[in-house]
Amino acid sequence: MNQRPNAILKFLEGNWTCEDTLYISGKAPVINRYDETMAIKDKDTLMITAYGLKDTPITKDMIIAITDDNVTMRQGDFTATGKIRGNRVVLVNNDFQSRDYEIRLYLMADTYLYQMDTFEDGLIISAQTSYLKRKP
């Protein structure tokens, strides 16, 4: 069994600056800017620490498991599954807390783009875009 970190984790490992924009139906966009560190814990687990969102750093684990071109992403109780398409990962979760989610990860050289759309009753109710730039 391969115990080396998968390609997505290897890409994400490092220090990033992040600009996160959350669009919620009927509300003004919420923009957060902060630094983020991603460290590999094991072959499928990434430890993500965000600095500057709160008084103290926020750390969470994210599991990203790859089998062939199939991907499973898990954080806490949330799980999404999907496929790798070149340097893009497309994931879905149909029915987490009565909502559906579509997630796209774009892995582009020194840029990582995370997009998540949230649907309720077939209608989009929020969209989140995180633009991360790798620190030198």
- What value does the mean pLDDT of the chain take? 95
Percent of the chain with pLDDT over 70: 99
CA distance 5 to 20: 26
Structural domains in the chain, CATH included, are: 7-134 (2.40.128.20)
pTM above 0.75, yes or no: yes
Per-residue confidence (pLDDT) for residue 89, from 0 to 100: 97
Per-residue confidence (pLDDT) for residue 96, from 0 to 100: 86
Per-residue confidence (pLDDT) for residue 2, from 0 to 100: 61
Q: Per-residue pLDDT for 112 more than 80?
A: yes
Q: Per-residue pLDDT for 53 more than 90?
A: no
How large is the average pLDDT for residues 22-48? 96
How is the chain split among helix, strand and coil, in percent rounded to 5?
5, 70, 25
Q: Per-residue pLDDT for 99 more than 70?
A: yes
How large is the average pLDDT for residues 26-34? 96
Q: What would the two tokens of residue 32 be? A: 């957060």
Rounded to the nearest angstrom, the gap between the alpha carbon of residue 83 and the centroid of all alpha carbons in its chain is 14
Per-residue confidence (pLDDT) for residue 55, from 0 to 100: 83
**Distant-in-sequence contacts of 85-89, Cβ < 8 A, 24+ apart:** 89/8
CA distance 39 to 79: 20
